[in-house]
Amino acid sequence: MPAPNVPPEMILRLFEVTAKPGCAAALLAKFANTSADVVQNEPGNQGYFFGDEMSVDGERVIFASLWDDLAAVQQRFGDRWQDSFLPDGYEDLIESCGIRHIRVGGGWFVRPAV
Contact at 8 Å (CB) between 33 and 61? Answer: no
- Check pLDDT > 70 for residue 6: no
Question: Residue 96: its pLDDT value, please?
Answer: 94
pLDDT tens profile 23-75: 999 999 999 989 999 999 999 999 999 999 887 677 899 999 999 999 999 99
Does residue 114 carry a pLDDT above 80?
A: no
pLDDT tens sequence across 89-107: 899 999 999 999 999 876 7
Tell me the C-alpha distance between 15 and 98, whole Å. 6
Across the range 73-85, mean pLDDT stands at: 95
Asked if 58 contacts 23 with a C-beta cutoff of 8 angstroms, the reply is no
pLDDT of amino acid 71? 95
Q: What is the pLDDT of residue 5?
A: 57
**The pLDDT value given to residue 1:** 45
